[in-house]
Amino acid sequence: MATVNLSDYTPLNINNAGDFNIGIVFSEWNNFVTHNLRDACVEILQKEGVNVENIKIVKVPGAFELNYASMQLCKERKFDAVIAIGCVIRGETPHFDYVCSAVAQGIKDCNILTDVPTIFCVLTDDTKEQSIARSGGNLGNKGVEAAVTALQMIDFKRKLNPKKSGIGF
């Protein structure tokens, strides 16, 4: 939403965040955006207590490759969450629609085919200016929202299985 600052959040104070293992897959395509999203994401994870050595960062060429890399990290079964970061900017052909749809479906597949919450942090904007506004510009940074979502989903999953984590609802 154009009226929401994506960087605004209330600190989560989740217990045991230092034990969380998080995979981040980011696209090099439109890196003027994706590097900002990745950096904000890592900053929030660390601010919330995730140890830097528990964050694995993997880069892929483009948004379409996020699906494969995210699924591979999910299959490793050593990550509590995976965050897929990318940016697709509309061009003059339907390529935008195909890529955006495929990436959304692929990240959805990670969520339903594995036991690892996979977070969709892919900007799908009409213009470069919109992407800049959502990656550290006047609308904040979607990477912050992705990090918060990952932490909340890990916490949710651990509360579903309190015997494993010692935490319950």
- Which residues are catalytic, by number? 95
**Cα dihedral 10/34/111/49 (nearest 10):** -40
Q: How far apart are CA 67 and CA 45, in angstroms?
A: 22
DSSP H stretches of helix in 77-125: 95-113
Q: Helix, strand, or coil here: 8?
A: coil
Largest CA distance in the chain: 53
**What tokens does 8 get?**
């605004």
Q: What is the DSSP letter of 54?
A: G
